[in-house]
């Protein structure tokens, strides 16, 4: 296990290094720069502004400068939000995204797996079809449609939850968590159902049943383990994506998370922020993929992590 | 700086910890305003966007102040202009103080400008003092040729007098000394001690406006509280103002309807008609100093023919375009600069008096004269940004060119930065252009079109250049405006751009808010507003 | 053994599977509905005397009226909503199915190889997936539009680029388990090459997951397309797609829900059908179900 972890951690660092290098140079190929604006600004002023971000150095020098900063956990200043460094922006927004994302993952996994199992156990029953309907709605109706509908109904009509913003109440969290969880419920429940049907027919499950082990026990101990393997693989990258926030959810519910930076930083050509968010997301991705692989190895001895 | 950083982080995690506490109390003594996207910087010498301008206009006061379209005395109670129109002398009020009680002196204003211009500050706002007006010596500081303020044409002969010297007469200088784009003074002790981070640090930031900065939460809000030491504090009615980041107009509308906001930043286009029908008193649509025009690529062969440019310009039915297609409340524009100054005799294009049918007939004739027809149609692209409004407008124009002239126009929307880049790269036939002004008057737009400004239009016109030279030498306001009108007519007659519309500001203002005056530049300082319970 | 294993499934099995699929009335019904929607999208617009891009400023925002020529009314340019929705369906179903298919195939093959071969190759292949996951998507899209000019090639590349990654990860996990199963060990013992084992044993056994996942990819592709047009590539107005119709309908949702309901309803119906068809196919091809 220790060997596995060291190896994966080493791999992870190399992956991250590759990602940083690739992103740093490739993003500069995008047209426009952080200071392009409608009005042409005089060259002297532009030079001063660029110099204050070292954007006037040769690209390779900028890269070395950046890497040296990253090694010391200094991700540089943001260009779009000039009062803050990239670390400040990410650390101040992360709690919101993490909170919403964590609960969304929990809700999506619990609800999705439950719906999937129920559907698989009672195939073509009412409950199976209802689970299917939930899944279809979760996917076919995009968040930018569902979220405003929820706002109108639950916030304006019923007045149960606020429309948006981050207040001092758990009520602010409910709608965004549900909206963020919905599409994932769909994926997880469909994956679970398919895998569950398959596992229920596997020899080991049949053997267990033949041995007289109770139905509930078989489902819980044997079938479920097999059925959630694809879900665990799915959850590796999905968790990294969910807990780093969603621009749609954050703009619609006016939440100060970091999800919006994935789109806005690139649109604003805020190079340091693009790099920062890429490293953060890349880091989460690597960690959750390691966790997913470990979890699968533990659930299914056939997945040996050499 | 370290304190700022810590409190910022602590704020985020604290909000998290208290997320499960009691529901938020509605504060009735707080005016909640939407500002669209987040402010770029709370540093008053650096910020270069409208969102920051709203907030900083409340927190800092320049030499003058603005209410609606009026220029009011601000920190200066009066001012004199020299005979040649190049020297402005401002007399500060007696007993002005900063929010921490320090006396506010004339030198603080000089230091404010000096800091704005210094290369280390890296501020884009130097633009106002070298391009919009030319303050003596400003360009030398920006370029690094001068390293102190000795050559700067802004001085403080005594504690209550500020003198500004300009290279050229510029009556519009009063329009950039106050309000959202004010030239705020600098409180040197706090900036020296805490660095530029002080501007987001409520514990140490020092302001001189009607409000103090109480809370700065990125991506969320800025909370301001009435400044008891402000010279006119007795007339500031609203105790607290909270500026909320409202990036999504639909959500902003819902929050407004739920009573979470009293003033919005925008109105979703699709909802405009419904709101005008249900709450007409709360919908405020005001022409803003933001003009849209379609630029023709003069470097490409077809557009070197004035007949073609003119045909395309007049074949656009602006009333139908804005009234039926775009429906964003924009005002059809037949001039370039759109007016805004009641004393300006706005020139319009020759065809403005015609009906659209007459224009279409003339356009078809000109189109044919330029050598195009059904067998030989013109094929061009239009490059707008991906914003909904701008795409809809481009599609409308393309449809009209197709219907009237048979032109095959392809709309190729581009993401904003790529769109800006495309302009200078010249990879377009027709560019869906726009220009945002800094103050209500023709002079915020016309100098930008001067061939010598090299703004990228590749227009050669000694006549326009000469006419603008005549105008900028004028010191008498009305004569200056008349000379500008001559220049604008030259611009219109050459059809190098097709004027389209004036973009309005669209806001919802609750009936609880009193004292709201429509302003083309969007000046709505909270100190002039009231809030009913 | 080597060549026989690559041969198509014997006729008797295939007809058995088809019969089993036909017996699944829900799946069959779904097939019928899906074909009907496709036929409507591909042929329907020709029944009308105008096309979906034809604006009529004298007939803006007409409501549903089955007695008029505009059955479901017009949009805010006076364009016929039904015809636009059908034309949009043509575009969206095309990119949806093609996108999901291509992403699915790349994902399955990549994941199967990575999981089955294992070892160093698996490590490198999966790290590559992580780098691609991590690369900022918006930048990628902007660059693709620069490279391919914002047309359909750029659209397709941008859609497929990231969508194959998740199926690859899932299939790789399945393949890891399968690689140690008795029948795979047996196949190896019989001298089958890795390529043969992957194609005959690994890929078919991951099919049930893949079919289900791909059926969810179709709507995802259709909806992502509208996000991409926000970045300036993809289907451009006035050309309709379900993505931009739904987006436009959402903006007008509170004033005129009709603009949202028609395209979103059709998309949901297609997804329902795909769902049941996917389940039916899965059951029919399940080797364990006899």
| pTM given for the model | 0.86
Q: What is the pLDDT of residues C153-192, one digit of tens each?
A: 888 888 888 889 988 998 888 888 888 777 878 888 888 8
- Does the bond joining B414 to the residue before it have cis omega, within 30 degrees of 0? no
> Is a pLDDT exceeding 70 seen at residue B221?
yes
Q: What is the ipTM of this complex?
A: 0.84
Q: Assess B526–C contact: CB distance below 8 Å, yes or no.
A: no
- How far, in Å, CA of B176 to CA of C32, rounded? 68
> Is a pLDDT exceeding 60 seen at residue A207?
yes
Tell me the average pLDDT across A251-277.
88
3-class state of residue B137 by DSSP: coil
- How far, in Å, CA of B156 to CA of B334, rounded? 45
Minimal Cβ distance to A254: which of B139, B199, B246: B246
Domains and CATH numbers, chain B: 27-246+509-531 (3.40.190.10), 287-505 (3.10.105.10)
Region C14-47+82-289: CATH code: 1.10.3720.10
| Residue B12 parent element (H or E) | helix B2-17
Contacts of A300 in chain C (CB under 8 A): 177
pLDDT at res. B20: 33
Q: Which of A286-290, B67-71, C264-268 has the highest mean pLDDT?
A: A286-290
CA B172 to chain centre: 15
- How far, in Å, CA of B475 to CA of B166, rounded? 12
Tell me the average pLDDT across A200-224.
71
Under the banding of pLDDT at 50, 70 and 90, the label for residue B142 is very high
pLDDT at res. B179: 67
pLDDT at res. B498: 95
Q: A interface mutation test: which of C121, C130, C283 has the most A CBs within 10 A?
A: C130
Under the banding of pLDDT at 50, 70 and 90, the label for residue B16 is very low
How buried is A92 (Cβ within 10 angstroms: 0-12 exposed, 13-18 middle, 19+ buried)? Answer: buried
Q: Provide the token pair at B195.
A: 């660095």
How buried is C241 (Cβ within 10 angstroms: 0-12 exposed, 13-18 middle, 19+ buried)? Answer: buried
CA C69 to chain centre: 33
pLDDT at res. B4: 37
Contacts of C267 in chain A (CB under 8 A): 140
Q: B interface mutation test: which of A103, A163, A271 has the most B CBs within 10 A?
A: A163
| CB within 8 Å: C254 and B271 | yes
Residues of chain B with pLDDT > 90: what percent? 60
Beta-carbon contacts of residue A15 (< 8 Å; ≥ 6 apart): A282, A286, C127, C130, C131, C134
B89 vs C5, residue with greater confidence: B89
- The mean of the pLDDT values for chain B is 88
> Is a pLDDT exceeding 80 seen at residue B222?
yes
Which 110-169 residues of chain A touch chain B by CB within 8 A? 148, 151-152, 155-156, 162-169
Checking DSSP bridges between strand B497-508 and strand B331-332, what pairing results, if any?
Answer: antiparallel
Q: Provide the token pair at B107.
A: 């030198």
> Is a pLDDT exceeding 70 seen at residue A250?
yes
pLDDT at res. C12: 58
pLDDT at res. C138: 87
> Is a pLDDT exceeding 90 seen at residue C64?
no
pLDDT at res. B312: 95
pLDDT at res. C163: 87
Helix, strand, coil % over all residues of chain B, rounded to 5: 40, 20, 40
A89 and B218 Cβ atoms separated by less than 8 Å: yes
| CB within 8 Å: A267 and B417 | yes
pLDDT at res. B27: 53
pLDDT at res. C57: 66
Q: For chain C, what are the domain ranges?
A: 14-47+82-289
Q: What is the pLDDT of residues C118-163, one digit of tens each?
A: 888 988 999 999 999 899 988 888 888 878 876 778 888 888 888 8
Choose the weakest-confidence range: A3-12, B106-115, B326-335: A3-12
pLDDT at res. A42: 83
- How far, in Å, CA of B165 to CA of B181, rounded? 19
Q: Assess A21–B contact: CB distance below 8 Å, yes or no.
A: no
Q: For chain A, what are the domain ranges?
A: 89-267
> Is a pLDDT exceeding 50 seen at residue B159?
yes
Region A89-267: CATH code: 1.10.3720.10
Beta-carbon contacts of residue C114 (< 8 Å; ≥ 6 apart): C121, C122, C125, C126, C168, C172, C175
Under the banding of pLDDT at 50, 70 and 90, the label for residue B24 is very low
Minimal Cβ distance to A194: which of C176, C212, C267: C212
- How far, in Å, CA of A60 to CA of B211, rounded? 46
A302 and A31 Cβ atoms separated by less than 8 Å: no
Which 212-241 residues of chain A touch chain C by CB within 8 A? 229-230, 232-234, 236-238, 240
pLDDT at res. C224: 82
Q: Which of A124-128, B20-24, B396-400 has the highest mean pLDDT?
A: B396-400
> Is a pLDDT exceeding 60 seen at residue B23?
no
pLDDT at res. B431: 95
Q: What is the pLDDT of residues A29-75, one digit of tens each?
A: 888 888 877 777 788 888 888 888 888 889 999 999 999 999 898 99
- How far, in Å, CA of C283 to CA of B68, rounded? 71
C166 closest CA partner among A101, A139, A234: A234
Tell me the average pLDDT across B446-459.
87
pLDDT at res. B181: 65
Q: Assess A140–C contact: CB distance below 8 Å, yes or no.
A: yes
Contacts of C275 in chain A (CB under 8 A): 132, 135-136, 190
State the distance between the two ends of chain A, measured CA to CA, in whole angstroms. Answer: 9
CA distances from B132 to A14, A39, A202, B36, C285 (A): 51, 11, 78, 26, 74
CA distances from A105 to A230, A236, B485, C200 (A): 15, 11, 63, 35
- How far, in Å, CA of B230 to CA of A179, rounded? 46
Choose the weakest-confidence range: A93-97, C9-13, C86-90, C264-268: C9-13
| CB within 8 Å: B142 and A81 | no
User: What is the residue whose two structure tokens read 């409190």?
Assistant: B7
> Is a pLDDT exceeding 50 seen at residue C70?
yes
């Amino acid at each position: 296990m220790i060997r596995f972890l060291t190896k994966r951690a080493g791999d992870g660092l190399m992956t991250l290094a590759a990602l940083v290098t690739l992103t740093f140079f490739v993003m500069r190929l995008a047209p426009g720069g952080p200071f392009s604006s409608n009005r042409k600004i005089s060259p002297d002023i532009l030079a001063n502004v660029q110099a204050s971000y070292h954007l006037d150095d040769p690209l390779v020098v900028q890269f070395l400068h950046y890497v040296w900063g990253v090694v010391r956990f200094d991700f540089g200043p943001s260009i779009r939000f000039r009062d803050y460094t990239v670390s400040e922006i990410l650390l101040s927004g992360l709690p919101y995204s993490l909170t919403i994302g964590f609960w969304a993952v929990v809700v999506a996994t619990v609800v999705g797996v439950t719906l999937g199992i129920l559907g698989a156990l009672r195939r073509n029953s009412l409950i199976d079809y209802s689970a299917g309907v939930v899944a279809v709605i979760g996917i076919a109706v995009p968040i930018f449609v569902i979220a405003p509908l929820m706002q109108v109904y639950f916030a304006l009509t019923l007045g149960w939850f606020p429309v948006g913003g981050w207040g001092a109440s758990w009520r602010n969290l409910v709608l965004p968590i549900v909206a963020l969880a919905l599409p994932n419920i769909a994926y997880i429940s469909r994956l679970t159902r398919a895998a569950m049907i398959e596992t229920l027919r596997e020899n080991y499950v049949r053997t267990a049943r033949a041995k007289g082990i109770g139905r509930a026990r078989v489902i819980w101990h044997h079938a479920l383990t097999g059925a959630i393997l694809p879900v665990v693989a799915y959850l590796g990258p999905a968790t990294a994506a969910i807990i780093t926030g969603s621009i749609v959810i954050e703009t619609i519910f006016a939440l100060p998370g970091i999800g919006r930076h994935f789109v806005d930083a690139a649109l604003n050509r805020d190079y340091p922020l693009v790099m920062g968010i890429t490293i953060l997301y890349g880091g989460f991705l690597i960690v959750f993929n390691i966790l997913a692989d470990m979890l699968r190895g533990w659930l299914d001895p056939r997945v040996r992590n050499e | 700086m370290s304190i700022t950083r810590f409190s910022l982080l602590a704020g985020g995690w604290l909000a998290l910890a208290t997320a499960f506490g009691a529901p938020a109390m509605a504060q009735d003594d707080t005016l909640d305003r939407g500002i669209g996207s987040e402010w770029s910087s709370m540093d008053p010498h650096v910020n270069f966007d409208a969102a920051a301008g709203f907030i900083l206009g409340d927190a800092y006061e320049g030499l003058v102040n603005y209410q609606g379209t009026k220029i009011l005395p601000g920190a200066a109670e009066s001012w004199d202009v020299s005979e040649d129109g190049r020297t402005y002398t401002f007399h500060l009020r007696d007993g002005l103080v900063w929010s921490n009680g320090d006396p506010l002196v004339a030198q603080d204003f000089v230091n404010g400008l000096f800091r704005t211009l210094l290369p280390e500050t890296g501020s884009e706002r130097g633009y106002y003092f070298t391009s919009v007006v030319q303050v003596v010596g400003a360009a030398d500081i920006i370029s690094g040729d001068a390293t102190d303020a000795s050559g700067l044409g802004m001085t403080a002969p005594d504690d209550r007098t500020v003198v500004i010297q300009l290279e050229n007469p510029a009556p519009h200088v009063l329009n950039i000394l106050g309000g959202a784009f004010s030239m705020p003074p600098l409180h040197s002790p706090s900036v020296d001690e805490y660095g530029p981070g002080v501007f987001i640090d409520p514990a140490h930031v020092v302001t001189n406006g009607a409000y103090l900065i109480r809370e700065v939460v990125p991506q969320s809000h800025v909370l301001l509280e009435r400044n008891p030491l402000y010279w006119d504090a007795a007339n500031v009615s609203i105790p607290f103002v909270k500026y909320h980041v409202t990036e999504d107009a639909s959500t902003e509308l819902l929050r407004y309807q739920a009573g979470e906001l009293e003033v919005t930043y925008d109105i979703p286009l699709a909802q405009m008609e419904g709101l005008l029908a249900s709450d007409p008193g709360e919908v405020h649509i005001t022409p803003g100093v933001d003009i849209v025009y379609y630029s023709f690529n003069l470097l490409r062969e077809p557009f070197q023919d004035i007949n073609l440019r003119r045909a395309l310009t007049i074949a656009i039915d602006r009333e139908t375009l804005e009234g039926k297609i775009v429906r964003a409340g924009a005002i059809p524009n037949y001039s370039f600069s759109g007016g805004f100054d009641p004393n300006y005799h706005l020139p319009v294009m020759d065809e403005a008096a015609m009906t659209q049918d007459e224009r279409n007939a003339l356009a078809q004739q000109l189109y044919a004269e330029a050598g195009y027809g059904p067998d030989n149609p013109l094929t061009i692209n239009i490059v707008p940004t991906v914003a909904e409004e701008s795409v809809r407008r481009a599609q409308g124009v393309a449809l009209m060119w197709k219907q009237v002239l048979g032109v095959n126009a392809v709309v190729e929307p581009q993401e904003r930065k790529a769109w800006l880049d495309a302009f200078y790269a010249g990879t377009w036939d027709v560019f869906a252009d726009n220009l945002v002004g800094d103050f209500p008057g023709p002079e915020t737009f016309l100098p930008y079109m001067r061939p010598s400004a090299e703004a990228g239009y590749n227009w050669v016109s000694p006549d326009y250049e000469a006419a603008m030279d005549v105008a900028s030498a004028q010191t008498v306001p009305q004569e200056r405006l008349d000379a500008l009108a001559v220049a604008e007519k030259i611009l219109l007659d050459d059809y190098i751009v097709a004027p389209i519309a004036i973009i309005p500001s669209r806001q919802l203002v609750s009936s609880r808010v009193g004292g709201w005056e429509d302003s083309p530049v969007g000046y709505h300082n909270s100190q002039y507003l009231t809030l009913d319970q | 053994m080597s060549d026989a294993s690559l041969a198509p499934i014997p006729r008797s099995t295939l007809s058995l599977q088809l019969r089993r699929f036909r017996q699944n009335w829900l799946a069959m019904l779904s097939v019928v509905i899906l074909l009907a929607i496709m036929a409507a999208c591909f042929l329907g617009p020709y029944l009308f005397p105008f096309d979906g891009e034809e604006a009529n400023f004298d007939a803006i925002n007409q409501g549903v009226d089955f007695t008029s020529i505009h059955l479901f009314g017009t949009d805010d340019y006076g364009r016929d909503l039904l015809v636009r929705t059908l034309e949009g369906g043509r575009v969206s179903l095309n990119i949806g199915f093609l996108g999901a298919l291509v992403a699915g195939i790349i994902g399955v093959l990549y994941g199967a190889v990575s999981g089955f071969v294992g070892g160093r190759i698996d490590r490198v292949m999966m790290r590559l997936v992580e780098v691609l996951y991590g690369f900022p998507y918006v930048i990628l899209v902007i660059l693709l539009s620069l490279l391919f000019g914002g047309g359909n090639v750029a659209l397709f590349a941008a859609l497929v680029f990231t969508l194959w990654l998740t199926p690859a990860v899932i299939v790789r996990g399945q393949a890891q388990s399968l690689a140690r199963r008795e029948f795979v060990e047996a196949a190896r013992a019989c001298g089958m090459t890795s390529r043969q084992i992957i194609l005959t044993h690994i890929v078919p056994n991951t099919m049930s997951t893949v079919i289900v996942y791909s059926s969810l990819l179709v709507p995802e592709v259709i909806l992502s397309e509208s996000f991409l047009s926000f970045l300036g590539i993809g289907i451009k107005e006035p050309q309709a797609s379900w993505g931009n119709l739904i987006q436009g309908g959402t903006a007008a949702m509170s004033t005129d829900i009709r603009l949202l309901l028609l395209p979103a309803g059709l998309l949901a119906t297609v997804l329902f059908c795909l769902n049941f068809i996917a389940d039916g196919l899965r059951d029919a091809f399940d080797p364990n179900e006899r």
